[in-house]
Chain A
Amino acid sequence: MSATFVGMPAFPTAARAALGDTQLRRNMAHATHTIREKRAAVVAEVEDWEDLRLAGAGVKEAALRDLATHLETLEASLTRAGATVHWARDAEEACAIVARITHAHGVDEVVKVKSMATAEIGLNEALEAEGIAAWETDLAELIVQLGDDLPSHILVPAIHRNRAEIREIFRRRMGDVGRAAPGGLTDDPTALAGAAREHLREKFLGAKVAVSGANFAVADSGTLVVVESEGNGRMCLTLPEVLISVVGIEKVVATWSDLDPMLRLLPRSSTGERMNPYTSTWSGVTPGDGPQEVHVVLLDNGRTRALADDVGRQALRCIRCSACLNVCPVYERTGGHAYGSVYPGPIGAILNPLLRGVEDEQTASLPYASSLCGACFEVCPVRIDIPSVLVDQRAAVVDSHRDDRVPKAEAVAMKAAAWAFSDSRRLAWAEKASGLGGRVLRRFGRTTLPGGRAAAGRLPGPGAGWTGARDLPAPPEESFRAWWDRTGGGQSEGGHS
């Protein structure tokens, strides 16, 4: 694996490149609309969906409010059930723990259940550096891994690929790392899935160590839960001798019954299914059945940082369903890679800065990668008010630059606007100037807008961002305010110029 998000440019630059990829645009538009409609149909079937959302948000909020206590309970329950609990402050610590356990068993490969936490910490790359091969067994993750690609979606990391591309990847790469794709492989989805099945079967049967994440961690019973659709997770969680699960500390819920709303919300929100196909739960070690050595790595990696943010902490409720990605008009057009993180889309635009801070330019560009249309909040099963957190993170970005020696042009412009907007007399003066400017712009514009109004011409500088693709009406000679003053609120004339 050589692909990496490290060194990705800021969102506007990455997005510009992605927008020019016609195959990507077509694949993304098709896939997001399909899953969006599927979700909408099955959510509409549930009469008390809004109550369910409130319940889901409540479960996660309650767990986060008393996170330390629940984590200690979880550790005690897991230990009692025969699991070994490890605590990892950051990605480096977590990867080192997994590598150490794997080395201790003298193996050089592990099979993996799809897991966002291990993608977040770059586990596969870290293990590779330690001479350990990590085989992804989720179909979409396999496509990404074989293609030396990067994930572009939380749930469907190969969403940017169509089946013709997948066929090529399988044909060319499967043989390099295991059982080759059968000759005459077509791009029929069943044939592609069959090839993956044969290829993966060898990995499942040969692996001694498996690595997973967890969708939920139940504190009182010490139970981890993995929710998946393909059965590959069930294979990894039951066949190998050793199971290592990397679990973000925000995955904890207090009790078994807390799973009730979560397992009803998640499938409908993520895959548009009424019920999840494979839900695996395990509590530590069961003698003679399944892995006999169970490790749980509880991962912080910025989560306590996010928890300390009054507005942003709600992002830790996220159950990684991807509903916000599927409805996002920005994500639909740019795809996931432009976000430069395994967490793309609206949730990525808040989660990344919350976990990492806004010091680097790429992360600082993410809260602005949204038109604030609010579609994400509307579908979020745990009611994360993503638009409000986006605005709050934008404020964090601006505040991080308040002591800059040379302020950004945008900051100067905003201060000037605030000055003009703080007193209506200043605004009236600015409008008079813009009316005079309008006269000039009309002369150079030479364009008439549909309906007859004169357009301004192409603007220089930052205005070119607008007029590059959009006509702009020339400012009118008389503002509304001036008209009101001149006509006594329209009483002294017909009211229409």
Chain B
Amino acid sequence: MRVALQVTCVNDAMFPDTGKAVVRLLRRLGVDVDFPGAQTCCGQPMVNTGYLDEAVPVVRTFVDAFAGYDAIVTPSGSCAGSARHQHSIVAERSGDPALVAAVAETGPKTYELSEFLVDVLGVTDVGAHFPHRVTYHPTCHSLRMLGVGDRPQRLLEAVRGITLVDLPQANECCGFGGTFALKNADTSVAMGADKARHVRDTGAEVLVAGDNSCLMHIGGMLSRQRAGVRVMHLAEILASTEESAGDPEPDNPLVEEVAQRPSRDQGDEGDFR
């Protein structure tokens, strides 16, 4: 089986560790995953903002990059949903029958990570180790557009050492919504504030989800609140083992910060002391 990683534009540019975690995880499970270098973005930012014409060349790039693979794995429910449900809209709009045919090929072969692990590889215990208190947020597109159901929870429940706690009002949207986060920033933040409150109520140290864009939003709020909760992509927890660097030995960030300081920020920040 030829398996391609669609890393997503957000992960490529902002969260490369998630992509590396998927590679590590899949290799550990015996999958020789490839990264087609011609890939860029699934086109969802354009589609969901109404720029369908602009999405046409982006979708074309997608189908060209992933043609010929048996499975396309992506660590994003949202981007998988875009490939499976929105590419056909863009292709119809283009009026190009070749593109219509191409998206009909790539769409059904696109799997969100938890779907690929559970449905295609048939595993729920991926041999991970993560000794932390964790709560899981089901992102809207993985929950309602793809219907991944309880696959992520089943994968997390099999992780060694994990304490998995339920998130109250879990199915409610976090308020990210792509360009919604900017176009309706106030409403987006109001939604995010409630999501962050529910996360804090769990007492979890780590919030996990299958979409880094939603996590960037919720995590951004938790960070601003100095809530003491970090966000991690599902792939990064599943890639963690007792030996891996994914869950490093406890270190002291303050010691590291001080160690780095003279070379980097000398004389720059009087407010530190």
Contact = CB atoms under 8 A, between A and B. Distances in A.
Nearest to A374: B144
Contact of B223 (A397, A423, A450, A465): A450
Contact of A418 (B34, B51, B265): B51
B183 interface: yes
B13 A394 contact: no
A382 B35 CA distance: 42
B218 to A, nearest CB: 9
Contacts, number: 233
A472 B223 CA distance: 9
A490 B24 contact: yes
Contact of A424 (B39, B143, B175, B179): B39
A16 B186 contact: yes
A329 interface: yes
B84 to A, nearest CB: 13
Interface string A401-434: 0000000001100110110111110010011001
A288 interface: no
Interface string B220-263: 11111001111110000000000011100000010001000000
Interface string B19-41: 11001100000000011011111
Nearest to B7: A480
B185 A421 contact: no
B219 A450 contact: yes
Interface stretch (B53-61, B118-126, B148-156): B53-61
Nearest to A444: B268
A342 B117 CA distance: 47
B183 A452 contact: no
A183 interface: no
Interface string A473-497: 1011011110111000110001111
B20 A330 contact: no
B145 A394 contact: no
- Interface size, B (range): 35 or more
Given A418-B46, A431-B12, A450-B230, A374 B223 contact: no
Nearest to B23: A490
Contacts of B190: 19, 333
Contacts of A450: 219, 222-223, 227-231
B190 to A, nearest CB: 5
Contact of B176 (A371, A391, A420, A483): A371
Given A391-B47, A410-B49, A424 B40 contact: yes
A156 B40 CA distance: 47
B20 A485 contact: no
Given A375-B173, A465-B182, A484-B35, A395 B24 contact: no
A372 B48 contact: yes
Interface in B57-100: 57-58, 60-61, 65, 86, 89
B75 to A, nearest CB: 11
A374 B230 contact: no
B50 A397 contact: yes
Nearest to A465: B185
Nearest to B212: A473
A424 B220 contact: no
A420 B47 CA distance: 16
A424 B37 contact: yes
Interface of B: 7, 9, 11-17, 19-20, 23-24, 34-35, 37-41, 43, 45-52, 54-55, 57-58, 60-61, 65, 86, 89, 140-141, 143-145, 171-173, 175-192, 216-217, 219-224, 227-232, 244-246, 253, 257, 265, 268-269
27 contacts: A12-B185, A12-B186, A15-B186, A329-B173, A334-B187, A368-B179, A371-B188, A375-B140, A398-B51, A410-B49, A418-B54, A422-B57, A422-B61, A423-B61, A424-B61, A427-B41, A430-B13, A443-B265, A466-B220, A470-B217, A471-B220, A480-B12, A480-B16, A481-B7, A484-B37, A496-B20, A496-B244
The 5 closest A-B pairs by CB, nearest first: A371-B177, A470-B220, A394-B50, A373-B173, A451-B230
Interface of A: 11-12, 15-16, 19, 329-330, 333-334, 367-375, 377-378, 388, 391, 393-399, 410-411, 414-415, 417-418, 420-424, 427, 430-431, 434, 443, 446-452, 455, 462, 465-466, 468-473, 475-476, 478-481, 483-485, 489-490, 494-497
Given A414-B51, A430-B13, A489-B23, 9 more contacts: A19-B187, A330-B187, A391-B86, A414-B46, A466-B182, A466-B220, A470-B192, A471-B220, A490-B20
